[in-house]
Each structure stands twice: as structure tokens, then as C-alpha cells.
Amino acid sequence: MAINLDSKDAIIREERLGSTVCWDGDLEGFAECTACGGAQNKERRFSQAGICPNGCAAGNLLSIRDAAVIMHGPAGCSHVGSATVGHQAASRINARYEAIGYGDDMNENDTIFGSIDNLKAMAVEVIESRKPAALFIVNSCASAIIGEDIDSLVSELKETYDLPIGTVNCEGFKSQVWFSGVDATFHTLVNTLVKEPQEKRDVVNFINFFESERSYLTDIFGRLGVTLQFLVVNSSVDEISHIGESRATVSVCSTLGTYLGHALEQKFDVPFLKTINPMGMTGFDTWFRGIAEILDKKDEAEEIIRQERAKYLPKIEEIKKKTTGLKAVLAMGAGYSWEMARVLQELGIEILSLSAGHYDPRQDGDNIPPAIEYMTENSTSNFITNVSDNQNFEVFNIIHTLKPDVFFSRHPGFTVWATKQNIPAVYVGDEYLALGYKGTLALANMIVDAVTNRSFETNLATHARLPYTSWWLNQQHAAMHKEA
């Protein structure tokens, strides 16, 4: 279904895509549900944790080099956004930026009588003193509940100041899926910053999180005759204003890129690549061939793939002798869990259980998420599958029951729960860890290190007191009962 860019706000994922944060079963059951249009089931009756979409939106905006962000809400809401900025890469050559982020610290009085005047005073001061290239005002639960009229303030400011000013409405209570916050950001960027194209440029938009492989990707895309516009971390307001002129959009994660990729395709005819991501060997080949086809550079892409294989495949085959037969449990985001499961199977590792942060049955082009479609068609085994949005107690139980050789997580708070149970944990924090052939080799080496050097988790497990009782640990997920 087309994205409604005329809507004041981005429609949340639950309503737009049928997303859910709760499901439990196995891969075959999951595939059946997906084929029927969605694995929607059950409300979780107890939730230990969650991620606020609002903080994700603010963090995303704060990573734009010359934009200012004001969080209209209590101090705690401002912290959520600012915390994500610490992860932003400083990898761009000569590009040092300091995030221009403010919060107006709504207090109890403000939540009764409103504080739009405070917000206006802060916006004026930020514009006049920091001279940002754009200003974004992010609302919060408190400002949304009392119905603060931020849009009228934005109209008033625009009459005085000549810069793009936008609101991002993604109060945390609106959606359980944190990517709804990222979508809200992209909705505002497309409607506030991106200009009508004046020309086509040899640029590919590259949506990613932290751009750690900027130089490698710049090199291989340069050999296809295009430069990369990384989005949105480290980009400038001016650069974002031109992304409607690019020849294509790709994303390191289709869950991250679905809204912006499809919005640019819909509004400016910029093709969005809809394949599995470039992690692992099959992923890299499929993804790179896909972009080469759009750019009409198939021969150049084949040569690059040939060179990568020649350089890394013999080493991958060698180390695969040590990874084959290992048993793994994964708990990662909605996209990466499936991408990583594919890479691990390429290394001969058996997946026992996969926990995905949320589940989008469809993406904005009405397609099944490519990484899920690939695994439901090509997985080498049927494994326990569940959707669990950072619910540590569930993942702890799964690790305790299945006792894998190794546990994989993309969120640092998870790894400790494996380590304390004397299970080696691999933290895949860098989205490029398994990029292509080079990354596959790096990941394989990391896995072998983790399962070989066991002193850390053995020591920790010896001395750690676990917070969960045997009552909880003896309960097992429905899918595990079925296996038994």
C-alpha cells in the first residue's frame, strides 16, 4: 500500500504494516502465517522492557550535522534521544559535528497549563544563537496528551525565520514498535527538507545506522560510477534536500529503510532496492547485483564479486571447519535477526531459536520483508521462532532451556544473560560486522574466538547470582513443548 505522505504524521507500523511485538512458534508456523498475510497474535500480558519510538526519532534527527532538535517534553524524554547520539560515527573525514539538541523540561505545572510559550522562547533562542540549517520539534507523551498546538507555533516561526522547520509527532505511547519513530523522522524529512529534483545525479542514497564501512562501500560503489549519500547520520540538511535527485536508494537494513526508500520511490521516482541485505556471501551477491542492475553496471559488479571471492573464500572455507556444527540462539532486531540467521547457516551453524524484536508482515511496497522470505524458503532447518521486543526474561529462559554453544545479540543488554549462564555471547553491534565476504570471515573469526576462549564467562557464571527463580526457568515456550 502506498505511503500516505499527505498525512500530517507518519502512520504507525501497527496500523500501516500490521506489525506486532509478540508471537511464538516455529519457522514453519511463521512461514504459514506470513503467507496468509501476517503472524498477528496475542497481546503480551507482562512486558519487562520496551523502546520508546520518540527517542529513536530524536536520535535519528540529532545525527544530522547541522540541524537542531528540540524535545518538547519532560527531561527524561530528552535523555532517550540524546543517549542514541553517543553511537553516531565520527568516521566521515574532516566532518566533526556537535549535535544541537535541547529539551524544554516540561514540569507538572506545564502538563496542566501547557508550555507552548516556553517552547517558542526556546525555539527563538536556538535559531538565533545556534543558527541551525533546519529545526525539528519532537513532541512527547506529555505534550501530546494535553494537545499542545506545535503546528501553529511552527507556522508562526516560519513567518519570521527563513529555514525549514518541522514537527515530528511520535509520542511514545502511540506505538510499541520503535521503528515507528524512525518512520516519523523520515516522514518529516521528506515533507520538510527534500526538494523537487532539478536533475538526476550519479548518487545512490545509502540508508544505514553508523556507517563504519563508509570507505569500503565508497570504493566499491565508486567502481560502479556513483558516489554514496549516507543517510542520515553525518549528512547535512543541504545533502538531504537533494536525495530526490539520486539514481537509487539502498538500505543496510530493509526494516530501517522501508519508509524512506519507498517514499522517495513514490514521490520522486528514485528506485528502492528490495532484496536481502549485504550481510554474508549470498546477501552480498544478491544485494550488489541488484544495485548493479538498476545502475546498468552488471559487468563491473561481477568483477568486484569475483575479486572478493578470490580474496576471502579460501579463508572462509578453512574457518568454516571450526564453525560447522555449532548450535546458536539469536535475539536481534526485526531485520537483523533474519539476516544474521542466513549468514550463520552459511557458516554451517545450526539455529536453535530466533527472537526478533518485532515483525512487519509486509513492507511499504506490500512485499514480504526479503530476509524473512529468504529464510522461510531456504532455511536448512525448522527452528523455534518468536517475536520479542527486548524481553530479557524470555530470552534468558530460551538460553537456559536450549543451552546453545553460542548466543548472538545486537543489543548489548542481552549478551550478559548468556554470559552469566556460561554461554559464549557474540555482540553484533556494528551493522557491518558480517558485510560481504570480508565481513563473513571477520564474523567467523569472532565466533571461533568466543567459543574457544571460555575463561570470562566461566568465571562470571561461577560467581553470578541469577535474578530468575526456578519457577520461571522451568517454564518453557509453547514451541519448546512441541519439540519435546
What one-character DSSP code corresponds to residue 20? Answer: B
Nearest approach, Cβ of residue 184 and ligand SF4 (Å): 12
Among 27, 52, 135, 480, binds ligand SF4 (CB under 6 A): 52
Q: Which is nearer to ligand SF4, 55 or 261 (CB)?
A: 55
Return the closest-CA partner of residue 41 out of 25, 63, 64. Answer: 25
| Axis crossing angle, helix 436-452 with helix 336-346, rounded to the nearest 10 | 80
Minimal distance, residue 206 CB to ligand SF4, in Å: 29
In the complex, minimum distance from the CB of residue 368 to ligand SF4, in angstroms, rounded to a whole number: 30
* DSSP strands (E only) in 80-133: 100-103
Min dist CB 138 to ligand SF4, Å, is: 9
| Length of the chain as a residue count | 484
| Spatial contact of 243 and 205, defined as CB atoms under 8 Å apart | yes
Q: How far is Cα 355 from Cα 357, in angstroms, rounded to an integer?
A: 7
We find the least distance from the C-beta atom of residue 389 to ligand SF4, in angstroms, to be 14
Number of residues engaging ligand SF4 in binding (CB under 6 A): 12
Residue nearest to ligand SF4 (CB): 172
Question: Does 389 contact ligand SF4 by CB under 6 A?
Answer: no
Helix (H, G, I), strand (E, B) or coil at 376: helix
Among 73, 257, 261, 424, binds ligand SF4 (CB under 6 A): 73
Residue 40: CB minimum distance to ligand SF4, A: 23
Residues 171-210 that bind ligand SF4 (CB under 6 A): 171-173
With a CB cutoff of 8 Å and minimum separation 6, the contacts of 77 are 52, 54, 55, 71, 103, 140, 141, 142, 172
Q: What is the closest distance, in whole angstroms, from the C-beta atom of residue 144 to ligand SF4 in the complex? A: 8
Which H helix or E strand runs over 401?
Answer: helix 392-402
* Complex with ligand SF4: residue 173 or 468, whichever CB lies closer: 173
Choose between 77 and 150: whose C-beta lies nearer to ligand SF4: 77
Of 341, 353, 201, 175, the C-alpha closest to 259 is 175
Does the footprint of ligand SF4 cover residue 295 (CB under 6 A)?
Answer: no
| 168, 91 contact by CB (below 8 A) | no
CA proximity to 14, closest of 38, 34, 33: 38
Distance CA 481, CA 484 (A): 5
Q: Based on CB atoms, which residue is closest to ligand SF4, 78 or 409? A: 78
Q: Does 141 bind ligand SF4 (CB under 6 A)?
A: yes
Instruction: Provide the phi-psi class of 296: left if phi over 0, else alpha when psi is between -120 and 50, else beta.
Output: left
Work out whether strand 165-168 and strand 203-207 pair parallel, antiparallel, or are unpaired. unpaired
Part in contact with ligand SF4 (CB under 6 A); list of ranges 73-81, 119-127, 221-229, 436-444:
73-81
Cα end-to-end span (Å), the chain: 41
* Stretch in the footprint of ligand SF4 (CB under 6 A) among 123-131, 170-178, 254-262, 333-341: 170-178
Should residue 69 be labelled a site residue for ligand SF4 when binding is judged by CB under 6 A?
no
Q: How far is the CB of 395 from ligand SF4 (least distance, A)?
A: 22
Residues 12-31 contacting ligand SF4, CB under 6 A: none
Residues 6+ apart with CB under 8 A from 223: 300, 304
Q: Should residue 54 be labelled a site residue for ligand SF4 when binding is judged by CB under 6 A?
A: yes
Query: What CA–CA distance (Å, rounded) separates 435 from 18?
Result: 30
- Residue found by looking up cell 536520535 in the block: 59
| Binding of residue 80 to ligand SF4 (CB under 6 A) | yes
Residue 140 binds ligand SF4 (CB under 6 A): yes
Three cell numbers written together for 462: 561461577
> Cell numbers at residue 216, please?
569500503
- In the bound state with ligand SF4, the residue whose beta carbon lies nearer, of 36 and 75, is 75
- Output 24 or 171, the one with its CB closest to ligand SF4: 171
The piece of 167-175, 218-226, 415-423, 471-479 that touches ligand SF4 (CB under 6 A) is 167-175
By beta-carbon proximity to ligand SF4, the closer residue of 54 and 254 is 54
C-alpha to C-alpha distance for 24 and 73, rounded to whole angstroms: 36
Q: Quote the least distance from Cβ 83 to ligand SF4, whole Å.
A: 11
Query: Interface with ligand SF4 by CB under 6 A: which residues?
Result: 52, 54-55, 73, 76-77, 80, 140-141, 171-173
